[in-house]
């Protein structure tokens, strides 16, 4: 398993680099063929490469991604290493170790009949091209097991917030900032007003719902083209996390209700809800099963937590498929320089996934 993990980490797979993702897909496909004994179907959508293994009509979906947030060349600064039982390198935790565990779990099944493995190449971008593949399969399955990395201490992820993404563009009018600034309409000033209004949206929702769980965060901002020009255009990206569908709809309503504060400016909003919330009810039964099986396997007590980050598990749960997330690596540091995996935990996590999959498959063969 460690050799397989090294192979995947050494093939960088930055989400925005389609060539890198394609190279990664070839490596992942060959490793999956070698470990599970069957080559995948390669699916390219809008330049993004996804992989699918189908072992008969799907009953259990095993879901992962091979893209990462790390640009090609990151290995120079954060090389692959294993020291004191800890593996490090770009994407090792999120989520290449999860793929290795997935492949080895399937390889141990008495029969993989009914298993459907989907490894997508754009999860870190919000799965724009893979979402239809995920949802179409999820609607036909009795369970989805997501190989995203675990939460702190190896906790499974039993609920996730919904995710919305927006970009607000402010249109103004350029002018020379020294000679005739009064002829311009400053998009930067208007952008500042809008950033403050956007940042206040979460407080407005949570004060009315008392949930205290919504976040509306302005992230990337830009305005202007030179230091002596009144900005004609300004932009801000907005990241939204919500506890439930009602809050997601409320945020969307308020975002679309933004109005200009500066005369002569115009607002343009793009984006919207990206991932529906993963409700705790979607994972409750599978989590109870995981606790029981982990105890039988001697893997110690399991705990489940709700997290703010989204995953493709949001899509499977939203499609009505019971979903358990966070079954991947134990470690930490996702999207950070300290990303790492506790190597000794990998075999046990693979055994747990195999046990969960076998249980659901056997239940299907024996009837309701």
Catalytic residue annotation: 67, 123
**3-state class of 271 per DSSP?**
strand
Residue 52's DSSP bridge partners are: 41, 118
Measured CA to CA, the distance from residue 89 to residue 309 in angstroms comes to 21
Q: How far apart are the first and last CA of the chain?
A: 35
Q: H or E segment at 99? A: helix 97-107
Alpha-carbon dihedral sign for residues 304, 310, 315, 320 = positive
Count Cβ atoms below 10 Å from residue 122 Cβ, excluding itself.
25
Residue 41's H or E segment, with its range, is strand 41-45
Query: In degrees, to the nearest 5, what angle opens at C-alpha 281 toward C-alphas 277 and 284?
Result: 125
Backbone angles phi, psi at 116, to 5 degrees: -130, 115
Task: Please list the helix, strand and coil fractions of the chain in percent, rounded to the nearest 5, in that order.
Answer: 40, 25, 35
CA distance 23 to 10: 11
Distance of CA 123 to the CA centre of its chain: 5
Which helix (DSSP H) or strand (DSSP E) does residue 21 occupy? helix 18-36
Alpha-carbon span 275 to 312, nearest angstrom: 8
Q: How far apart are CA 195 and CA 237, in angstroms?
A: 10
Q: Would strands 323-324 and 304-307 be described as parallel, antiparallel, or unpaired?
A: unpaired
Q: For residue 214, what are the contacts with CB-CB under 8 A and spacing of at least 6?
A: 202, 205, 206, 240, 241, 242, 243, 247, 251
The DSSP code for 326 is: -
C-beta neighbour count of 225 within 10 angstroms? 12
């Amino acid at each position: 398993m460690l050799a397989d993990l090294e192979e995947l980490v050494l093939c960088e797979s930055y989400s925005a680099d389609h060539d890198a993702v394609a190279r990664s897909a070839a490596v992942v496909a060959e490793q999956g063929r070698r470990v599970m004994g069957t080559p995948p179907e390669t699916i390219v959508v809008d330049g993004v490469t996804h992989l699918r293994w189908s072992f008969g009509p799907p009953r259990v979906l095993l879901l992962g991604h091979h893209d990462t947030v790390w640009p090609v060349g990151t290995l120079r600064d954060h090389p692959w290493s294993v020291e004191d039982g800890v593996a490090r390198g770009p994407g090792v935790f999120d989520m290449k170790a999860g793929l290795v565990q997935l492949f080895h779990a399937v390889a141990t099944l008495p029969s993989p009949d009914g298993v459907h493995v989907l490894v997508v190449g754009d999860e870190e971008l919000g799965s724009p091209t893979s979402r239809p593949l995920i949802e179409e399969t999820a609607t036909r399955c009795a369970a989805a097991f997501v190989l995203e990395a675990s939460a702190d201490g190896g906790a499974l992820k039993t609920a996730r917030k919904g995710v919305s993404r927006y970009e607000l563009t402010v249109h103004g009018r350029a002018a020379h900032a020294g000679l005739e600034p009064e002829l311009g309409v400053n998009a930067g000033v208007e952008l500042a007003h809008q950033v403050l209004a956007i940042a206040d949206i979460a407080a407005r929702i949570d004060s009315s719902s008392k949930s205290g769980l919504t976040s509306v965060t302005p992230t990337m901002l830009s305005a202007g083209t030179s230091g002596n020009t009144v900005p004609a255009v300004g932009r801000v990206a907005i990241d939204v996390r919500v506890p439930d569908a009602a809050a997601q709809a409320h945020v969307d309503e308020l975002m679309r209700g933004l109005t200009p504060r500066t005369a002569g400016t115009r607002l343009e909003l793009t984006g919207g809800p990206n991932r529906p919330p993963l409700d705790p009810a979607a994972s409750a039964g599978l989590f109870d099963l995981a606790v029981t099986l982990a105890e039988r396997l001697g893997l110690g007590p399991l705990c489940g937590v709700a997290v703010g980050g989204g995953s493709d598990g949001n899509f499977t749960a939203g499609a009505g498929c019971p979903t358990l997330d966070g079954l991947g690596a134990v470690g930490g540091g996702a999207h950070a320089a300290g990303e790492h995996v506790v190597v000794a935990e990998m075999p046990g996590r693979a055994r747990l996934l195999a046990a969960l999959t076998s249980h659901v498959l056997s239940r299907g063969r024996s009837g309701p």
